[in-house]
Amino acid sequence: MEFEPTQIRDVVLIRPRIFSDPRGFFFESWEERKFAAAGIAAKFVQDNHSRSVRNTLRGLHYQIEQAQGKLVRVATGAVFDVVVDLRRRSPTFGKWVGVTLSEENRHMLWVPPGFAHGFLVLSESADFLYRVTDFWAPAHERTILWSDPDLDIGWPLPAGVTPLVSQKDGSAGRFHDADYYP
């Protein structure tokens, strides 16, 4: 596996080694020793799987308490995956990074606790898989508006297309009013 730092420290793009032959492919999506050697010593407690149609945008989600680290990847389709640094003491506080995760590139992204997370489906549909380091805590769940002008996220939406969002995501609060991490 290759562990490539992104523009935001602690957010890591992971490129697994793919073994392909006429039967198909195989790769390790998690190997504790390799991740620990790369500085990601995570204990996962839950695996999640969502399926979404083209132009669905989920996020930007986080939990202010019981903050979750997430190891995210796409099994089928493609998404533009975004994380926003909510760590007030971080030099990249309020900055975002976005990467394309797809069934073709098989890349994964490590999103440490302290970040809001969201994604936009680029393909006809996408199966999105993520492992989390803490349990879902609805009382501590927070959402930041995906289109917040203060964040100015470069979502790759086709011209004139409004993404499909949940009611919660569509009425989310602004970044400047959000609860942040220390």
**DSSP track, 86-151:** -BTTSTTTT-EEEEEEETTT--EEEE-TTEEEEEEE-SSEEEEEEEESS---GGGEEEB-TT-TTT
For the segment 18-47, what is each residue's pLDDT rounded down to a tens digit? 999 999 999 999 999 999 999 999 999 999
Given 49, 61, 107, 117, the catalytic residue: 61
Domain parsing of the chain, residue ranges: 43-177
Q: How far apart are the C-alpha atoms of 147 and 101, rounded to whole Å?
A: 21
Task: For the chain, give the mean pLDDT.
Answer: 97
Contact 64, 181 (CB under 8 A): yes
Active site residue 61: yes
Given a cut of 90, whether residue 9 has pLDDT beyond it is no
- Quote the pTM value: 0.95
Q: 181 CB contacts (<8 Å, ≥6 apart)?
A: 64, 67, 86, 87, 88, 113, 114
Active site residue 130: yes
Query: What pLDDT does residue 115 have?
Result: 98
**pLDDT tier, 16 (very low <50, low <70, confident <90, very high otherwise):** very high
Tokens of 41: 């010593």
For the segment 114-169, what is each residue's pLDDT rounded down to a tens digit? 999 999 999 999 999 999 999 999 999 999 999 999 999 999 999 999 999 999 99
Q: Minimal CA–CA distance to 167: which of 148, 137, 145, 135?
A: 145
Given 62, 107, 117, 130, the catalytic residue: 130
- The architecture CATH gives domain 43-177: Sandwich (2.60)
